[in-house]
Amino acid sequence: MPADTLPRSRPPLRQLTPGRACLLLGLIVVALAIMHLHASPGLANGLMALLRAPDTSTVGLVLHMAWWPRVSMALLAGGGLALAGVLMQQVLRNPLAAPTTLGVASGANLALMAASLMAPSLLMLGREWVALAGGGLAMGLVFSLAWRRGLSPMVVVLGGLVVNLYLGALGMVLLLFHQEALKGLLIWGAGSLAQNGWEDAAFLAPRLALGALLTAWLLRPLSLLELDEAGARSLGVSLKHLRLGGLGLAVFITGCVVSVVGIIGFIGLAAPNIVRLAGARRLGPRLFWSTLLGALLLAVTDLLLQRFSGLLPTMIPTGAITAALGAPLLLWLIPRLRLGSSAPPREARTVGGRHPAPGRLATSLAVALLALAVIALLAGQGVDGWQWASPGNSDLLSWRLPRLLAAASCGLMLAIAGTLIQRLTSNPMASPEVLGISGGSAIALIGAIFLLPAPDNLTLVGIATLGALMSLAVLVMINRRSGFQPERLLLTGVAITALFEAVKSAVLAGGDPRGQQVIAWLSGSTYYVDLASAMTVTGAALVLGLAAAPLTRWLDILPLGGPTASALGVDLHRSRLALLALVALLTATATLVVGPLSFVGLLAPHMARLMGFSRAKTHLVGAALTGALLMVLADWLGRQLLFPQEIPAGLVASLLGGAYFMWGLRRL
């Protein structure tokens, strides 16, 4: 059995066959539609509004021009995404492959945003071709990251994660600098099915029909991909061309859907896996039932959202709802995947050797940090070009000093949190951002901003810490039986991050004025930090950093394995709980200032290892100094690169850290 499929030792859900699942969803769709039509013009008039626009009835006109096209679009988009998901899963032999998990949808979305701003004439050639180019480039980047590992399921999905985050950071840069021009794209980009006519449905239907016909033509060759490579080649199949054709078709279908309705999350992941678990094993039945189930699943979700939208304070796009529903599905699928040995992970090998004098190296880093801090305080661009400010310029220092302190403190805290989680899990690719801990903090903070009248900083820290602890609890519950395998930990982080993206999309698309505050915070800007807040964050960083010092013995012993650590007198439960609680506090406090996706927690511990900090104590010190230096550099560069406009420090760090993640993924 391949290592990248759902285990067949579990019996399929015979009590819920694909046909019964589709019948159930179809009945729900019909019932919701009848309830909606009966409440407005009556069932007969509502059905007549599908065929023609009434001359006098306003309600009938709304049904004909908005409601019926929206239902049709939900069926078309859901079916198309499910079809693309089956193609990707079949070609890659990976049950976690989907348009959203592989970065295809994000690439298509970013390409459409960039074209809308910089080259609107390209959209006249066809929105689907712009989206196809963006999605194809995103998938090509994912493949380049995973090619050396033979398109391993874990590496492919992790590549999709980092490409998603990276393209999201680029999209956030465009949004910050062009908020008015892209304001209307926020709702569309979050996955909106709202319609004002039949044009979009008429645009999408023939393209999806073409995609379905090409899929049927490739059905027999694609079925051979279930054999091993040697067996497929013996039958005269060109695997390279077949994979290229299957994935190209999946990208085309995804690009067509994204160009019309934006990003609809997880339909392409949910429908094929539900159908597979319900008993459809062969490719032909999976294609048919997945397409039908995806169409009905999105239609049910959208009809329920429309029915209960009056109870919600803001308009929530359908794409955000499907992503929020898909994240628990992904968490449920992860324990059912065979990704390799179930043995506990081994200590990651250090890339660099041990430095003979780590104390002297740490002193050099501290001097470099001090020098960079002086440059960040005194050097910068002004109306007359580059200037060197006078140390006595109190106005200038009062503006730059809080930003410097906040950036350095948050970099230090994220670096220590990343070092703790990497050594605790023996996972070189773990970090608060990648494992979803920052995402959990961000979800809690967004909830506090919108639900509490005027939360103070202490309340926000407490709520953010609670969100981080809940994310850690999910990580522990899902990965405890597998011995905290790196692959499963990282995939769990993918799911939590996807849930955060859903919440973010809903907030940004809602039109609430507080959304601007959330955008600024998500981007990791230190612009609004005053001196009092900066001193508070600095104090918290020093206290939490000192709290990590007595735990270095645990960090040296725990990677040796549970039995060895217990034999050396370490209480496994207490030590792991204390370390995870400290990670949550560090992550929550830093996330308040620099947002959830800076990647410093991943980058700084690795750079410290490369420089030769190997023992836990010196590793913490080296990573803390490196993290502070990286964030100060990111904040200063963000102020200078596009002066007088600014790129927030968190986004600069995300772009640097995301590039490093891609490089590191090739070595995983």
The residue-averaged pLDDT of 429-443 equals 78
Does a cis peptide bond (omega within 30 degrees of 0) precede residue 644?
Answer: yes
Cα 50 to Cα 31, 59, 79, 295, 438: the distances in Å are 17, 12, 21, 19, 47
Spatial separation of the C-alpha atoms in residues 487 and 124, rounded to whole Å: 43
Give per-residue pLDDT as tens, 41-62. Answer: 677 777 887 777 766 677 778 8
The helix (run of H) or strand (run of E) holding residue 634 is: helix 616-640
Question: Which pair of tokens denotes residue 652?
Answer: 């600069």
pLDDT of 109 reads: 80
On the question of pLDDT at 279 being above 50, the answer is: yes
Give per-residue pLDDT as tens, 152-193. Answer: 666 776 777 778 778 877 877 787 777 666 655 655 566 678
Spatial separation of the C-alpha atoms in residues 161 and 501, rounded to whole Å: 12
Going 410 to 412 to 413 to 417, the CA torsion angle's sign is positive
pLDDT of 464 reads: 81
Judged by average pLDDT, the poorest of 213-222, 338-347, 461-470, 506-515 is 338-347
pLDDT of 610 reads: 79
- pTM, rounded to two decimals: 0.71
33 and 304 Cβ atoms separated by less than 8 Å: no
Query: CA 13, 99, 67: angle at the middle one, nearest 5?
Result: 85
Give per-residue pLDDT as tens, 601-626. Answer: 878 888 888 788 888 889 999 999 99
Q: How confident is the model at residue 371 (pLDDT cuts 50, 70, 90)?
A: very high
**Sequence-ordered strand ranges (E) for 241-393:** 379-382, 385-388
Q: Which of 16-25, 71-80, 333-342, 498-507 has the highest mean pLDDT?
A: 71-80
Side-chain half-sphere of 50: how many Cα atoms within 13 Å? 11
CB atoms within 10 A of CB 664: 18
The residue-averaged pLDDT of 110-136 equals 82
pLDDT of 346 reads: 43
Residue 415's nearest CA partner among 217, 182, 602, 159 is: 602
Q: How confident is the model at residue 232 (pLDDT cuts 50, 70, 90)?
A: low
Q: Over pLDDT 90: what percentage of the chain?
A: 13
DSSP structural state of residue 186: H
Q: Is 537 exposed, middle or buried (0-12, 13-18, 19+ CB in 10 A)?
A: buried
The residue-averaged pLDDT of 331-360 equals 59
Higher pLDDT, 11 or 329: 329
Q: Which amino acid is at 609?
A: R
What secondary structure does DSSP assign to 81-122, as a single string? Answer: HHHHHHHHHHHHT-TT--TTTTTHHHHHHHHHHHHHHH-THH
Residues in the chain: 668
Higher pLDDT, 249 or 344: 249
Q: How confident is the model at residue 150 (pLDDT cuts 50, 70, 90)?
A: low
Cα 532 to Cα 398, 403, 407, 529: the distances in Å are 11, 11, 14, 8
Q: Kindly list the structural domains of the chain, giving each domain's residue range(s) and its CATH number in brackets, ordered by start.
A: 35-333 (1.10.3470.10), 406-665 (1.10.3470.10)
Q: Is 395 exposed, middle or buried (0-12, 13-18, 19+ CB in 10 A)?
A: exposed
99 and 81 Cβ atoms separated by less than 8 Å: yes
H-helix segments, 147-228: 153-177, 179-189, 199-217, 219-223
Give per-residue pLDDT as tens, 343-356. Answer: 434 444 444 567 77
Q: Measure CA of the first residue to CA of the last residue in the chain; give whole Å.
A: 24
Residue 499's nearest CA partner among 439, 588, 437 is: 439
Using the structure block, give the residue that is written with the tokens 């539609």.
33
On the question of pLDDT at 539 being above 50, the answer is: yes
668 and 429 Cβ atoms separated by less than 8 Å: yes
The residue-averaged pLDDT of 18-24 equals 88
On the question of pLDDT at 520 being above 70, the answer is: no
Give per-residue pLDDT as tens, 416-432. Answer: 998 998 888 777 767 78
Q: How confident is the model at residue 2 (pLDDT cuts 50, 70, 90)?
A: very low
Cα 374 to Cα 3, 377, 383, 526, 652: the distances in Å are 53, 5, 21, 18, 20
Going 537 to 541 to 542 to 546, the CA torsion angle's sign is positive
On the question of pLDDT at 517 being above 70, the answer is: no
SS (H, E, C) 649-663: HHHHHHHHHHHHHHH
Q: Which amino acid is at 242?
A: L
Going 210 to 216 to 217 to 219, the CA torsion angle's sign is positive
pLDDT of 9 reads: 40
The residue-averaged pLDDT of 480-498 equals 69
DSSP structural state of residue 183: H
